[in-house]
A and B are shown apart, each in its own frame.
Chain A
Amino acid sequence: MKNLIPPIGIGLAVALACFAAVPLAGAASIENSECFACHSDESLTRSTTEGMNHSRMSEQLFIDETQFSHSVHHNNGIGCVDCHVDISKLDYNQEVPHKKQLDLVNCTMCHEESSNAFKDSVHMKIRGKGITMNCNACHGYHYVTRQEALSVADRTNNGCAKCHNPYQSHDWLPQKNEHFSFVECVVCHVPDAPRHIRLSFFDLMTNKFYSSQEILKILGISENEFKLLLDTDKDEIINVTEFENLELILRQKNVHAIFHAELVAEMHPSVHKINRGQAERDCKTCHSANSPYFDAVTLVLTKDDGSSDHFQVDRAVLESFSLRHFYALGGTRMKLLDKIGFLLLAGGFSVVLGHLAVRIATIPLRRKNEYAAEQSNIQEEVSR
């Protein structure tokens, strides 16, 4: 099964490569526990604003260790001083054992591709207007989690909607609500970014997405067995029949989950390259047969850490009754309906043209009959 490489994963790969190649000064000598000895204190705050960088949102210096432990960086073995590279040693003789004003964390050290894309974006260009937007404006500081498992709504709320209200613009866009609900902002605003239709298990009764664990528990199988259960012909893609089989299995387990479909961008560095005037505005790009926006379809099993397993699905599933809760006008239309429609139209025209042809061909006959009738009437009149 095709495994989409999550962009965060790319970032981490770059990060690990960095660490492998460049020994970080403090990494070996300072453990996270030493940092948390102070920073787990909720009352720890900076007592002065002297030297504060304007981009800081708060003076609070408390870090929630539990939340940090769920972060993508911690989960990949990246410690405090791997980012805060200007801390090389702790001097406990001082009131603050490291310099009071730390340098800004340079995410580019690891996330070079994302950084390059960001440098060529409107979010970088606004610095010319005096607005500084750093990585943390969207991603936060210490609790960065993987985004790939998030729904469109969560991606919007965690990202663009922090600053932008999409309802205040997009007046040209028909069916705003529908677009905002099913399409991630980046899909239109970075048309070149890789994207896919993301199918996830959704419970209509509770209005919640099923997690990977929940689905696997219901099916009574392990993570590895899920792929075997789905892809019975082992061709690495879930076709219509296999998709229907999965639905049937869920029904047999008395689970009435639907497949919720959303058009989302992949977590690729290019998603950072958002620019004015480059958003896709031609409706036909999406809403026409064979639109490239529906080429990649994946079924996802979402995990608690924000990651997800992806299973490639045949596009034909989008254009069939197997997927009853998603339809993109024109873009995922069923070809069968077109054929039935053609037959209906052809039938209508055939009846009309056939009848008309016979009507025209029988004009002499009707004239003859009318003439005979008139003659008969005249004879009747005369005989009276």
Chain B
Amino acid sequence: MSHEKLIYIHPAPVRVWHWLNAAGIVLLVATGFQIRYAEILNLMPLKDSVSLHNFAGFGVIAAYFLWLFYYLSTGKIIIYFPDPSTFVAKAVKQVKFYGYGIFRGEPNPHVMTPENKFNVLQQKAYLGIMFVLLPAQMISGVFLWKVKGYSDYIHLLGGIRIIDTIHVLFFFFFASFLVVHCYLATLGHTPLAHFKAMFTGYEEHH
């Protein structure tokens, strides 16, 4: 492997955020299942899973602000916004690649660069996740953490049932996303290439 083929894509703050976030989400999903299905699962006592869920939740919130600060302060936040003028054409290409070309061994139509590391489908997905789903999950989680303390806000938003529904639906989404995300990460030039890159920061160009 020559050094010319290595490109520094993931700076340290992004990697720190990513793995903090990943650990937090895994814990949240695991404890989330334990909390919701206490009569079926016996991973740990319910009260411990609630405490761990709370700690992990605040860990993810802290990591989120690290992510937000880094991307806002460097101006790199724009990588999350797809260009509307080319979005459809690029999205079609990308879908064709994932649904057909990848099986034939065709190259990925999107070439990663430090300025543009996401393909348009990733941009669209992560835009929704980082700016809508995750904040909604964090806010609803904080409300559920102190139902009594935030009762005014909870009533304003329609009641605890509404907050819980949002939190649970997004919980299932994130649980499902975790599976898909891990799988998609194996679609590099080798199954572990993207995983390695998220530790070293360097993606290999082919």
Contact = CB atoms under 8 A, between A and B. Distances in A.
Interface string A275-286: 000000001100
Nearest to A323: B161
Contacts of A325: 155, 159-161
B45 interface: yes
B47 A370 contact: no
Nearest to A359: B103
A258 interface: yes
A287 B37 CA distance: 9
The interface centre, meaning the residue of B38, B103, B179, B183 with most chain A CB atoms within 10 A of its CB, is B38
Interface stretch (A51-59, A224-232, A304-312, A349-357): A349-357
Nearest to B191: A359
B51 interface: yes
A345 B46 contact: no
B115 interface: no
Contacts of B45: 283
A355 B183 contact: yes
Interface string B160-176: 11101100110111011
B206 interface: no
Interface string A335-349: 001101100110111
Interface string B29-56: 0000001111100000111001100000
Contacts of A352: 179-180, 183
Given A348-B176, A351-B180, A284 B39 contact: yes
B176 A366 contact: no
A333 B36 contact: yes
Given A326-B160, A358-B103, A348 B177 contact: yes
Interface in A359-380: 359, 362, 365-366, 369-370
A314 to B, nearest CB: 16
The interface centre, meaning the residue of A173, A181, A290, A352 with most chain B CB atoms within 10 A of its CB, is A352
Contact of A370 (B105, B160, B169): B105
Interface stretch (B4-12, B19-27, B141-149): B141-149
B72 to A, nearest CB: 31
Contacts of B75: none
Interface string B81-112: 00000000000000000100011110000000
A365 B105 contact: yes
B161 A287 contact: no
Counting chain B residues whose Cβ lies within 8 A of the other chain, the interface size class is 35 or more
B102 A365 contact: no
Given A349-B179, A356-B183, A358-B103, A330 B37 contact: yes
Contact of A341 (B162, B172, B179): B172
B176 A324 contact: no
Nearest to A348: B176
Contacts of B104: 362, 365-366, 369
Interface of B: 35-39, 45-47, 50-51, 98, 102-105, 146-149, 155, 158-162, 164-165, 168-169, 171-173, 175-177, 179-180, 183
21 contacts: A177-B146, A204-B155, A283-B38, A284-B38, A284-B39, A287-B35, A289-B39, A290-B39, A321-B165, A325-B155, A327-B164, A330-B35, A330-B36, A338-B36, A344-B176, A345-B172, A352-B183, A356-B183, A359-B103, A366-B105, A369-B105
Given A330-B37, A362-B103, 19 more contacts: A175-B147, A177-B148, A204-B155, A283-B38, A324-B160, A325-B160, A325-B161, A326-B161, A327-B164, A337-B172, A340-B169, A341-B175, A344-B176, A345-B172, A348-B177, A352-B180, A365-B103, A365-B104, A366-B103
The 3 closest A-B pairs by CB, nearest first: A324-B159, A348-B176, A341-B172
